[in-house]
Structure 1
Amino acid sequence: MENPRFYFAPETRSFPVQVSAEVLDFHQKLPGYRATPLVSAPTLARSLDVKQVWVKDEQNRLGLPAYKILGASWATYKELETHFGPFEAWETLSELAKQLKPHLPVTLIAATDGNHGRAVARMAYWLGLQAKILVPADMVPSRREAIVSEGAVLEVIDGSYDEAVERAAQQASDRHLVISDTSWEGYTRVPAWVVEGYSTIFQEVDSQLQDLQATVPDLVAVQMGVGSLASAVVQHCCTPGRKTKVVGVEPLAADCVLQSLLQGTLTEVPGPHHSIMAGLNCGNTSPLAWPYLQGGLQAAVAVADEGAQNAMRLLAKDGIISGESGAAGAAGLLALLTGAQAETRREKLGITRDSTLLVVSTEGATDPENYQRIVAGI
């Protein structure tokens, strides 16, 4: 197995509190809303030699196998409101869809490694809109089929995820709205709403910890693709008065955030990016996320595919179905807190046997065949 790469911040800073109850209220109106489970992972905790590991299990979020619908739905709603609002008060999506009918046809466009595009397509279905989803050529058939099952038109790009993002941006118009979770020059409004949408995860976590009479975690491990989810974690955890540290995790083959942190400026990692952590195969960090990642991450780690597979198996032993990208946070903790020179890294992060950690398992088995192969025989 390839050795992981590490980055430790010389210092971090806090950011103003930005929690909005409006986001959670919106999500609670979506079909089938309920808070996803916060579960204990004792097997993983023993492997990490810490007191407690909590896992926020996003394998079933609003009927989809990943957390992405939270950002995609909120960003879609806010972008539709910008173009066609203000909307009258509504309680169900069918009521909102009626207000959109005079403006049809409207097409939502997104580039994706899988979960974000499917989420955008689901939102289009719920609202009676059309969806066109652009995907890189190396996307596995099961993820392509899942997107098509939502009623979307699938366009396969002969290139990487980053090239799919570029192609999607070129298709924007008054009736073709690009719902992207990464930003570029002149395009920040929608990605900012995507990040806001993810805040529901952490509002739920705070409430669940309070119900369990559990302490706030000492450290959160979060996966990084373009960095949107990680920036949401930083905005939640790195506020005045909170002491939770944030660690970002990405594949060795696509460690654009870690390389940017090392260089002190946004740095591209050219493709091809062939990690099994498909949702994290990104060569460019979102410029919108970058200030939060640079200012708020205590550490970053890039892990090999074997590390993700090991984390999937450990989580499975704790009864948690976590896909390749979903288990990346746990893989990062294993790389940081175990193995050669682990004591030095633990000391830098202030982690002891009495520490409590939080992992966000961002997806279930989105590639079921590969998942079964990896966890077979545990």
Structure 2
Amino acid sequence: MTTTTAATTTDTGVSWYVNDAVGPLPDGDFAPLDRAPMRRHATLPGYRPTELHDLPELAARLGVAQLLVKDESVRMDLPSFKILGASWASMHAVAGWLGVDPATLDLPTARTALAGRGVALVAATDGNHGRGVARMARLLGASATILVPEGTATARIEAIASEGARVEVVEGTYDDAIAASAALAGQASLVVSDTSWPGYASVPRAVVEGYSTMFHEIDDAVTAHGYRPPSLVVLQAGVGAFAAAGLRHYRGSAVTVRAAEIRTAVVEPTSAGCLMASARAGRLTEVPGPHRSTMAGLNCGLPSELVWPLVRAGTDVFVAIDDAWTDTAMRALAAVGVVAGESGAAGLGALLAAADQPALAAAVGLDANASVLVVNTEGATDPENYAAVLARG
């Protein structure tokens, strides 16, 4: 084992960094933490709150008082939470193109306004975000071009294409696909990205705001079922948009005084730990590819410039895990009836790693009194690998 004052790496497939830059979250020009996205989501076809599971068997395995798992394996007939951000951001992009206030634009009005005008939505993706954008394009009567990095599972490509989108495979990494999508922006080509770059922030900001619906649903379920509120929130990260949404909800200045009592951990694949690398360096840092983790939705080499200040200020501990921990978590969740894909199981994978590492358990606050929240962000989006992982167990 090698150790520094704040960073630890072991030979057990897990490393972590205790963040010394935790502080008040910057505003970042985000909209207030209200339920406006949730009200709009409620008008979309198939919307309903997803399940929040209380899993005592896994809580006992982790040695904690309560383990809550928000299950996003089916969200509006899609196998991921990503439609929440993709839908809110797509409507913002369309509203900007039409020159209207996004708050006044609903789906039927937008579809009518776009009819016959040749508008296309464009996105780069490792799978789930792109499928969400493709679904929104279909609902809006627009076309969609979705760019994926080489090595993307065939099942994920076919799922995007099933929404009527044109899928292009880009040579290189997810970050190369992002660059290629940005180059496609045009008069009637609206890029809907969950990451930002200089001069492009309003749509990625809307992605983060769209994810807020999930956390409001969690609050409602905790109250309705009488669960203990979370004392530890574990959030997986690619570019950081989803993590930023969770951190805004649980650590933002608008929430109650309990925010100071909630521990937060952000989880990445070992091979694509760009947020941890940035935290260690104290600045945005790129982790070069190839990024070969099976956690495809987290295979990102560069954090989103927009959300990095939020993630840096709101994260207590950054954790990076190898695929073996995710595989173990997928099997553990399957054993209690929860279908989790590779990225979806990452949060639990980090907890299982922490339960095996006393120093990491202490850093994140994993103890007998802890009430822990993780999010299963996707179902089995690569069925072939999912079956293989379960078979190995």
The match for 1:77 is: 91
The 8 Å contact of residues 43 and 314 in structure 1, kept in 2 or not, is answered as: no
1:4 to 14, 18, 23: 14
The 8 Å contact of residues 69 and 376 in structure 2, kept in 1 or not, is answered as: yes
Higher mean displacement: 16-25 or 199-208? 16-25
State the 1:92 CA deviation. Answer: 6.5
Secondary structure at 1:105's aligned position in 2? coil
The 8 Å contact of residues 238 and 245 in structure 1, kept in 2 or not, is answered as: no
- The separation in 1 between residues aligned to 2:169 and 2:122, in whole angstroms, is 13
State the 1:91 CA deviation. Answer: 9.2
Secondary structure at 2:372's aligned position in 1? strand
The 8 Å contact of residues 155 and 381 in structure 2, kept in 1 or not, is answered as: yes
One-letter amino acid of the structure 2 residue matched with residue 263 of structure 1: A
State the 1:345 CA deviation. Answer: 2.9
- The separation in 2 between residues aligned to 1:271 and 1:88, in whole angstroms, is 37
The match for 2:374 is: 359
Matched, 1:251 2:269: yes
- The separation in 2 between residues aligned to 1:198 and 1:88, in whole angstroms, is 16
Secondary structure at 1:376's aligned position in 2? helix
State the 1:100 CA deviation. Answer: 2.3
The 8 Å contact of residues 89 and 192 in structure 2, kept in 1 or not, is answered as: yes
Matched, 1:178 2:191: yes
1:272 to 290, 305, 309: 290
| Structure 2: gaps spanning 5 or more residues | 1-10
Task: Please give the TM-score of this superposition, normalised by the length of structure 1.
Answer: 0.95
One-letter amino acid of the structure 2 residue matched with residue 365 of structure 1: A
1:154 to 159, 167, 181: 167
The match for 1:204 is: 217
Aligned length: 374
The match for 1:346 is: 361
One-letter amino acid of the structure 1 residue matched with residue 127 of structure 2: G
The 8 Å contact of residues 136 and 156 in structure 1, kept in 2 or not, is answered as: yes
- The separation in 2 between residues aligned to 1:177 and 1:374, in whole angstroms, is 38
Cα shift readout 1:92-144 (whole Å, capped 9, x = no counterpart): 73343113226x11000000000000110000001100000011110011001
Alignment of 1:35-184 (within 5 A): 35-86=49-100, 93-101=107-115, 104-184=117-197
Alignment of 1:186-335 (within 5 A): 186-240=199-253, 241=257, 242=259, 243-335=261-353
One-letter amino acid of the structure 2 residue matched with residue 62 of structure 1: M
The 8 Å contact of residues 112 and 134 in structure 1, kept in 2 or not, is answered as: yes
| Structure 1: gaps spanning 5 or more residues | none
- The separation in 2 between residues aligned to 1:174 and 1:248, in whole angstroms, is 37
Task: Please give the TM-score of this superposition, normalised by the length of structure 2.
Answer: 0.91
One-letter amino acid of the structure 2 residue matched with residue 214 of structure 1: Y
**Structure 1 residues 118 and 71: alpha-carbon distance in aligned structure 2, compared to 1, 3 A threshold:** same
Matched, 1:26 2:40: yes
**Structure 1 residues 166 and 89: alpha-carbon distance in aligned structure 2, compared to 1, 3 A threshold:** closer
The 8 Å contact of residues 71 and 196 in structure 1, kept in 2 or not, is answered as: yes
State the 1:350 CA deviation. Answer: 3.2
State the 1:90 CA deviation. Answer: 7.8
Moved runs in structure 1, 4+ residues, more than 4 A?
A: 87-92
- The separation in 1 between residues aligned to 2:284 and 2:267, in whole angstroms, is 17
Secondary structure at 2:45's aligned position in 1? coil
State the 1:18 CA deviation. Answer: 3.2
- The separation in 2 between residues aligned to 1:105 and 1:14, in whole angstroms, is 44
State the 1:258 CA deviation. Answer: 0.6
State the 1:87 CA deviation. Answer: 6.9
- The separation in 1 between residues aligned to 2:153 and 2:392, in whole angstroms, is 24
State the 1:14 CA deviation. Answer: 3.2
**Structure 1 residues 254 and 89: alpha-carbon distance in aligned structure 2, compared to 1, 3 A threshold:** closer
**Structure 1 residues 200 and 284: alpha-carbon distance in aligned structure 2, compared to 1, 3 A threshold:** same
